[in-house]
Amino acid sequence: MTAAPKALLVDITRCIGCGACSQACKTANQLPAPVEPKLTADTWTVVLERGDGRFVRDLCRHCLEPSCVSVCPVGALTKSDDGPVVYDKSICLGCRYCMIGCPFRVPMFEWHSATPRIRKCILCAPRLERGLPTACAEACPTEATVFGDRDTLVAVARARLAAHPERYHDHVYGLTEVGGTSVLFLSPVPFEELDFDTTVADFPLPDLTWRLLLHVPNVVLLGAGFLGASYWLYRRRDQVAADEGPDRAPSTHAGPGADDG
């Protein structure tokens, strides 16, 4: 039986900006210190201050239908049944399409390494396999980040919105964005005020990828037809010039004045 997909619920009204989640992530994933001020190949989650004492976590959203997975030509990124989007260095080409395809600009490349990898939060996949919560959720002292089944966390988020409408902006970010994510957010203010991208599509971005790919054969055929027609016209022009006699040189000959001097 397939495990219920896991997720995180981040309640911005409860975050005190202590950074315990970032430190726990470093320890659990054996990442070098220090915690950097933004996402890097060595810092997979950060807490950012967004004015008025509000703090926002940034990390991989582990989309339900990830665009990074859909654009990877070799399957180095995969979406696990239990939620995490994980990475396999052994088959990665280093093309970095995942960095371009991610709507949240999360995957990072190890530019400093001789054998670079794509690096990002993996939702503590090894811990999940052992039945443990993510390290960040376990370390949070205020339960601003909680871990659980996604359906359960969606219900919790909706219950908080219903119980305290004065406390929350009436939206669960990640519920529908890009078709849904495994990291959900509650906020006291509209999300755009906290620099969340509220213009992302509500449908899974791989749908767009496949729509474009469906047109690739047509584009190739049209391109081949155009090139073939161009070549035929080029050859036809030379043939017509040759048929008209020596007074009209074919296009492959040198231009006027080439024989002067």
> Which residues in the chain come in under a pLDDT of 50?
210-222, 224, 231-232, 248-261
Q: Is the CA virtual torsion 93, 99, 101, 104 positive or negative?
A: positive
- Cβ atoms 102, 39 nearer than 8 A: no
Q: Clarify whether residues 145 and 233 are in a common domain.
A: no
For 201, the token pair is 């599509």
- Cβ atoms 104, 121 nearer than 8 A: no
Q: Clarify whether residues 160 and 248 are in a common domain.
A: no
Helical spans, DSSP H, in the chain: 20-28, 67-71, 97-101, 125-129, 135-139, 150-163, 205-214, 216-243
DSSP label of 192: G
Q: Clarify whether residues 38 and 109 are in a common domain.
A: yes
Q: Clarify whether residues 195 and 220 are in a common domain.
A: no
Predicted local distance difference test score (pLDDT) of residue 216 = 45
Q: Clarify whether residues 159 and 42 are in a common domain.
A: yes
Q: Clarify whether residues 162 and 247 are in a common domain.
A: no
In whole angstroms, give the CA distance from residue 100 to residue 68.
Answer: 8
- Cβ atoms 87, 117 nearer than 8 A: yes
AA identity, residue 259: D
- Does residue 86 belong to any structural domain of this protein? yes
CATH number, residue 53: 3.30.70.20
- Does residue 209 belong to any structural domain of this protein? no
**Residue 49, φ and ψ in degrees, nearest 5:** -85, 130
Predicted local distance difference test score (pLDDT) of residue 209 = 57
Q: Clarify whether residues 178 and 63 are in a common domain.
A: yes
- Cβ atoms 32, 25 nearer than 8 A: no
Count the domains in the chain. 2
Q: Clarify whether residues 238 and 143 are in a common domain.
A: no
- Residue 70 structural domain: 6-204
Q: Clarify whether residues 180 and 245 are in a common domain.
A: no
pTM greater than 0.85 (yes/no): no
